[in-house]
């Protein structure tokens, strides 16, 4: 069973995301913000991280940067699910290493579809573990 780390400071959003993912058969771990997420990834491996952007302590882009600096998360898909829809923020997310940018509210079926797509597709060479020094 694939495992997903769902990060959001809103309890209602965490419940909706977790419900959607568990219904689709994923094993879900919740984190309340970026710092909590970093604590969780120290203890567990995840096949995908789905994170909110605007959170206290550490936001989604900061979390993405921190995860990309961690060898075991170089190639893990990271999706940012947020109310933010500006191109500037999307580009910041992309530059940080995010795999995709999803604007809330999400459609449950579409979310599952997108997660399936990013889990199946190969990671870009620059993001594969051990390839960062070969460019």
Task: Give me the residues that bind another protein (CB under 8 A), please.
Answer: 8, 10-13, 15-16, 19-20, 23, 53-54, 82-86, 90, 93-94, 98-110, 114, 117-118
- Of 44 and 125, the one with the shorter C-beta distance to another protein is 125
Token couple for 26: 């994923």
Least Å distance, CB 77 to another protein, is 9
Least Å distance, CB 128 to another protein, is 15
Q: Which residues of 26-43 are buried (b: 16+ CB within 10 A; e: fewer)?
A: bebbbbbbbbbbbebbee
CA 69/CA 120 separation, integer angstroms: 23
Can you state the angle between helices 60-68 and 87-96, rounded to 10 degrees? Answer: 20
Least Å distance, CB 35 to another protein, is 19
Least Å distance, CB 123 to another protein, is 12
- Of 20 and 41, the one with the shorter C-beta distance to another protein is 20
CA 86/CA 29 separation, integer angstroms: 28
């Amino acid at each position: 069973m694939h495992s997903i780390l769902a990060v959001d400071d809103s309890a209602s959003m965490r419940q909706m995301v977790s419900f959607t993912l568990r219904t689709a058969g994923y094993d879900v771990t919740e984190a309340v913000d970026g710092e909590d997420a970093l604590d969780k990834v120290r203890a567990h491996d995840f096949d995908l991280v789905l994170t909110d952007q605007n959170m206290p302590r550490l936001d989604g882009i900061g979390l993405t940067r921190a995860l990309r600096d961690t060898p075991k998360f170089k190639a893990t898909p990271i999706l940012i699910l947020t109310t933010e829809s500006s191109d500037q923020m999307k580009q910041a997310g992309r530059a940080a290493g995010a795999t995709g940018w999803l604007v809330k509210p999400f459609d449950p079926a579409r979310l599952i579809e997108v997660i399936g797509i990013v889990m199946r597709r190969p990671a870009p060479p620059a993001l594969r573990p051990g390839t960062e020094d070969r460019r």
